[in-house]
Chain A
């Protein structure tokens, strides 16, 4: 996106479809194709790009067991393909692109602050104030477009706060985050932003080593295991990685979660009344609407997947979006149903690379939706805007709603009668179900 964020948190020239820079037009609903692949050809070849940008054949796997097997076997399937993709922006030591034993060493050094117990105090101290600050901007208005005004920006803000960046730097940080997230669409701007952000982080890290604080940069900068310290290059790469890995995925996942709830008013009412449903609802939303559908590996030796020979050097694409809809693991797998029995899903990956930030992501999503429900009474879709703007969940690589137009009772005003009639609401819900 080439949009620029202003100090009031508004974007100029926002284009909803620019959220999907690397997908072909028509990437509206990949799920019917993926269902057909699971049934008829559990491993298929598709075009992909190698690290030089050349079109090569890649193998794509679709069934839950095959996807999990590829991700678990990190000896046969290397993450080198991800390193090659990300190194130009994130540096050579990008954690998601490393193999063992280097990966384990670096991950051990950085994952401590992301443990469930470590992040628990962030919920009240950091995430909730950020979320509330954003809701403050529209709570008196009675309507909002939650992608532009909320989901797109709050995770970057959370990272800025977690890193302990001074408030006056937040807008600049947002601009860098925006440029780096949209690297695929605009590489030049992305490169420049990455270089500037690296220099900025260098100063921050140096400052924390001299003046340690109770924040995550300090914790990582001084982390030591068996006398080994993290290198400066590794530190910068990791901090940069927080943007695509931590902010972009969380923004899309929160959008999908809200879309799932708003499209299913019965479930929305249930969770509004009983917030203890929130944890299972977050899990279901991440299964049903993962923010990123695919990840890739490189076969390190001749191997076989689902009976098909895969030669050494082949790129293998694991379609976690498809695996999460595997009919052999979930009944009515295409339906969003917060009441279904929990079975571990695979949106956070599995194996040694399983998402480092999963506990933070879950907590952010829970807090964001809880506060919206607390502060925006009768939160509901703006059916007219949905129709007018052809609002839907889009994308087959990164996937999230084009927009989330909502209505609610403005803060301080008396409750309104619910606008949609029973009939109108029904057809509206069905229409949404048919496009998701």
Chain B
């Protein structure tokens, strides 16, 4: 099931740790904010790690109705 991934642009500080953990899912834009380029880009556990590893807790991940990170 495709995950629903949201990046809070206000909280994001452009550190790029999400791109480190899940480089096919997240990409730092020229606006210095992370963007989801493909919610299926990486295995689920890597996407969860990216959310958990976000320094400003700007990433939320849902599987269906359940928030998993």
Contacts and interface: CB of A to CB of B under 8 A. Distances in A.
Query: Can you list the 3 inter-chain pairs with the closest CB atoms, starting with the nearest?
Result: A354-B55, A344-B53, A115-B28
Contacts of A112: 32
Nearest to B23: A116
Interface of B: 13-17, 19-20, 23, 27-28, 32, 49, 52-53, 55-57
Given A72-B55, A344-B49, 20 more contacts: A72-B56, A107-B13, A107-B14, A111-B15, A111-B32, A116-B20, A117-B27, A117-B28, A342-B49, A343-B49, A343-B52, A344-B17, A352-B13, A352-B55, A352-B56, A354-B17, A356-B15, A358-B17, A359-B16, A359-B20
11 contacts: A104-B13, A115-B14, A115-B28, A116-B16, A116-B20, A116-B23, A117-B27, A344-B52, A350-B55, A359-B16, A362-B20
Given A116-B19, A116-B20, A116-B28, A351 B56 contact: yes
B55 A349 contact: yes
A75 interface: no
A352 B32 CA distance: 13
Interface size class of A (residues with CB under 8 A): 20 to 34
Contacts of B55: 72, 349-352, 354
A186 interface: no
Nearest to B33: A108
B14 A108 contact: yes
Contacts of A344: 17, 49, 52-53
Contacts of B28: 115-117
Given A344-B49, A344-B52, A351-B55, A108 B20 contact: no
Residue among B13, B20, B49, B55 with max Cβ neighbours from chain A (10 Å): B55
Contacts of B15: 111, 354, 356, 358
Interface in A81-118: 104, 107-108, 111-112, 114-117
Nearest to A74: B56
Contacts of B56: 72, 351-352
B19 A117 contact: yes
Nearest to B55: A354
Nearest to B14: A111
B52 A115 contact: no
Contacts of B16: 114-116, 359
B37 to A, nearest CB: 12
A173 B58 CA distance: 39
Interface string A116-160: 110000000000000000000000000000000000000000000
Interface string A356-392: 1011001000000000000000000000000000000
